[in-house]
Amino acid sequence: MSEAKQTLQEMCEAFDVTPRTLRYYEYIELLSPERDGRKRLYGARERARLTLILRGRRFGFSLEEIRQWLELYELEDDQTTQNREWIELSTRQIDELEQRKAELDDAIDELKRLRDVAEASLKS
């Protein structure tokens, strides 16, 4: 029994992405759907890769970092190497996200102070 394939449109609907996004991921070789003439067909492997790509984007990884992440899953050795690389990559990203969060918190606090000054000036 052959695995179920999804068309480009079905993938777009299932993952809430645009056709342009899927074609771009194919262009930069993050996805490799089967081709039937001009029709793209996505199997389980491509669905899993797209899930990881979208998760990586949500976590703030660059497309190159996501490429490295996906390559970890292509390794055929034991998961020790995969886990070590993933820990290093995710730790760096967590540090960066925490730094950005601190910067955003500072910006929010400053903006609130400026708003409070403006509100106070209206009351006087």
Q: How far apart are CA 104 and CA 120, in angstroms?
A: 24
Task: Name the amino acid, one letter, at 32.
Answer: S
State residue 80's pLDDT score. 82
Q: What is the CATH number of domain 1-61?
A: 1.10.1660.10
Averaged pLDDT, 87-104? 95
Q: How far apart are CA 65 and CA 53, in angstroms?
A: 10
Angle between helix 79-123 and helix 63-74 axes, rounded to 10 deg? 150
pLDDT, tens only, 1-59: 457 899 999 999 999 999 999 999 999 999 999 998 989 999 999 999 999 999 999 99
